[in-house]
């Protein structure tokens, strides 16, 4: 795919959604971090349902530590892998209090040192909470990048590196949100809605569905 075609793709995505927002609900960097931790192999809908009950009770590292792992489980038990996630959340909260004064760190190295936080979660926090031009690659973005030809790669790291290289700078801040929403609602895995797609004429997918 050539640079002019990539640019036009993002111009169209931008025109359709100038100010994209994450679907996870949060009001602080810490709330976002915990929501993203909980979202692995879970839907944003289920995470939001849990955090709407949890955050009014405990939405700081110390408050969650005081709440305790067992009680935390009761709030998130409808989310997949909730026992492991509860353990990671409490461990992360303790590390935030002990090493970062209760604040969410703003570097990749410090974020990825937190229990349960990998590269994708760190990228989401850096981009969404702190406004850095990182691009977290999830299953939707991996699929879109390969299917459309925007940034084909054999694994998520290769796709991320290509996106950072190929996406024009002016679009990098919101690229993650545009792509994930497009993958979630239009360029779906089994039945892509090519007839509704605003970038269909630019897409290099050979098996379009109309």
Cα–Cα distance for residue pair 69/23, rounded to 1 Å: 26
DSSP 8-state assignment for residue 104: P
Q: Which of 5, 120, 162, 208 is catalytic?
A: 120
Rg (CA), the chain: 18
Cα–Cα distance for residue pair 18/14, rounded to 1 Å: 5
Residues in the chain, overall count: 210
- Please indicate whether residue 193 is annotated as part of the active site: no
- Please indicate whether residue 206 is annotated as part of the active site: no
Cα–Cα distance for residue pair 34/29, rounded to 1 Å: 9
List, in sequence order, the alpha helices (H) in the chain.
3-16, 29-39, 44-54, 61-67, 69-76, 82-100, 108-112, 119-124, 139-148, 156-166, 172-185
Q: Which of 44, 106, 138, 169 is catalytic?
A: 138
Cα–Cα distance for residue pair 182/59, rounded to 1 Å: 30
- Residues designated catalytic: 120, 138
């Amino acid at each position: 795919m050539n640079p002019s075609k990539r640019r036009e793709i993002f111009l169209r995505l931008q025109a359709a959604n100038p100010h994209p927002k994450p679907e996870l609900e949060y009001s602080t960097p810490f709330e976002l971090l915990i929501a993203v931790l909980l979202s692995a192999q879970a839907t944003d809908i289920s995470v939001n349902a849990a955090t709407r009950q949890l955050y009014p009770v405990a939405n700081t590292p110390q408050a969650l530590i005081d709440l305790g792992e067992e009680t935390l489980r009761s709030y998130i038990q409808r989310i997949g892998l909730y026992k492991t996630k509860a353990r990671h959340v409490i461990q992360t909260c303790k590390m935030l209090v002990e090493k970062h004064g209760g604040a969410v760190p703003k570097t990749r190295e410090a974020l990825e040192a937190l229990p349960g936080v990998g590269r994708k979660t760190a990228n989401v926090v850096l981009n969404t909470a702190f406004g850095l031009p990182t691009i977290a690659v999830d299953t939707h973005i991996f699929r879109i990048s390969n299917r459309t030809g925007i940034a084909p790669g054999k694994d998520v790291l290769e796709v991320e590196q290509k996106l950072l290289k190929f996406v024009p700078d002016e679009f990098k801040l919101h690229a993650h949100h545009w792509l994930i929403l497009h993958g979630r609602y239009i360029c779906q895995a089994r039945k892509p809605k090519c007839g509704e797609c605003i970038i269909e004429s630019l897409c290099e997918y050979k098996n379009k569905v109309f």
